[in-house]
Amino acid sequence: MSTPACITDALTARVQHGVFGYGAHPQGLAEAFIEWCQRRYQWRVEPEWLVFLPGIVAGLNLSVRAFTSPEETTLAPTPIYPPFRKSAALAGRAQLNAPLQPRGERLVLDLESLRPQLTGREKLLMLCNPQNPGGTAYRRDELEAQLAFAQEHDLIVCSDEIHCDLILTPGVQHIPFASLSEDAARRSITLMSPSKTFNIAGLGASVAVIPDAALRQRFCAAREGIVPHVDVLALTAAEAAWRGGEPWLTEQIAYLRRNRDRLYAAISGLPGLGMVVPEATYLAWVDASGLGVENPTRFFKRQGLGFSPGADFGAPQHVRINFGCTAATLETAIARLTQAVSAANVRA
């Protein structure tokens, strides 16, 4: 999918400037992000809360290292975006995983199931909203239940909200965790980025919103000497996206919604496969356990389909399908998927 012209125009102008040494954040970058949050989420963000990063994954890893000690435990959903799982392991921390449970046509986080495993050493709750995988956009009551759990156990919350701009289901609204209350803001780190929204992930620009000064200081201390500053082109692209990308995004969401619905209709007609309809993201979470193959990812790859392995997310019999592509590419994938299911000889 192409990147909006407002970004490519801004990058062209910046490249023509011809100087690429170290630089401060562009004037207006924070203002553009703050206005974006206010306009789209009615969330008031202060400039001093912002810490710009070269990627969301860096923010996940920094949160684990800044807010837990080696003997403390992180909490995270399962299945979940692989860096959630890796961040604890890389830092030498234990992690407890709360399952996503079906609720109607959605997958929702079941924190209550963790209670028998809690030891009192838990310190960091890692959330993903919208959920990756599954595409759940959490409602206010669900977020308030997550906040109540964090309050009860005195947890810091790291909320990955990178897909927040990509709500596909009409009538569903993204709610930033930190916007729930003053306490939610005080105990949270919110990670956002224009990268998924505007197809600029390769540039590497994101932001951590940390209202509490003490948490912000610990977070920034953890990055010293390890995480570099964001490069000048990435910052240019981010500001351009937040300032001028909204009309393009409106069209993009409509396109992605059509792709989602087309893929769901196709998979619903194929034996051995099941798909949750994502309320957000451009990622379909597909249960392939009915195919009766040992490794669905490897099986599909042999049919010319490059799906993300469910095993990386904690669910080996699933695959994640990216439908953020042209309609023509999606049709090719659906044709190959149909052939693959036929090759598996699954009976309806």
**Structural domains for the chain:** 5-245 (3.40.640.10), 246-346 (3.90.1150.10)
Where are the strands (E) in the chain, listed by range?
A: 50-53, 73-78, 94-103, 106-109, 122-128, 156-160, 188-192, 206-209, 274-276, 283-287, 308-309, 318-322
Q: How many CA atoms lie within 13 A of 312 on its CB side?
A: 13
Q: Say whether pLDDT at 113 is over 50.
A: yes
Give the residue-averaged pLDDT of 200-225: 98
Closest CA to 206 of 62, 23, 75: 62
Between CA 108 and CA 113, with CA 112 as vertex, the angle to 5 degrees is 90
Give the C-alpha separation, 34 to 40, whole Å: 10
pLDDT of residue 25: 82
**DSSP 8-state secondary structure symbol assigned to residue 270:** S
pLDDT of residue 337: 98
pLDDT of residue 347: 54
Query: What distances in angstroms separate CA 16 from CA 204, 205, 229, 236, 325, one per listed residue?
Result: 20, 21, 22, 13, 30
What residues are paired with 102 via a beta bridge? 107
**Per-residue pLDDT band at 252 (split at 50, 70, 90):** very high
pLDDT of residue 326: 97
Q: Say whether pLDDT at 214 is over 90.
A: yes
For residues 33 and 242, is the Cβ–Cβ distance under 8 A? yes
DSSP string across 149-161: HHHHTT-EEEEE-
Give the residue-averaged pLDDT of 259-264: 99
Q: Say whether pLDDT at 126 is over 80.
A: yes
pLDDT of residue 346: 63
For residues 165 and 197, is the Cβ–Cβ distance under 8 A? yes
**pLDDT averaged over every residue in the chain:** 97
Give the C-alpha separation, 223 to 98, whole Å: 28
Q: Burial code of 241-273, b = ≥16 C-beta within 10 A, e = fewer?
A: bbbbbbebbeebbeebbebbeebbebbeebebb
Which single residue is written with the structure tokens 């009615």? Answer: 42
**Per-residue pLDDT band at 343 (split at 50, 70, 90):** confident
Give the C-alpha separation, 187 to 215, whole Å: 8
Q: Say whether pLDDT at 98 is over 70.
A: yes
- The side-by-side arrangement of strands in the sheet containing 94-103 is 50-53, 206-209, 188-192, 156-160, 122-128, 73-78, 94-103, 106-109
**DSSP 8-state secondary structure symbol assigned to residue 293:** -
Pairing status of strand 188-192 against strand 206-209: antiparallel
Q: Say whether pLDDT at 70 is over 70.
A: yes
Tell me the three state secondary structure of residue 189. Answer: strand
pLDDT of residue 348: 45
Residue 106 phi/psi, 5° resolution? Answer: -125, 160
* Total Cβ atoms within 10 A of residue 129: 25
Give the residue-averaged pLDDT of 99-127: 97
pLDDT of residue 22: 85
For residues 6 and 240, is the Cβ–Cβ distance under 8 A? yes
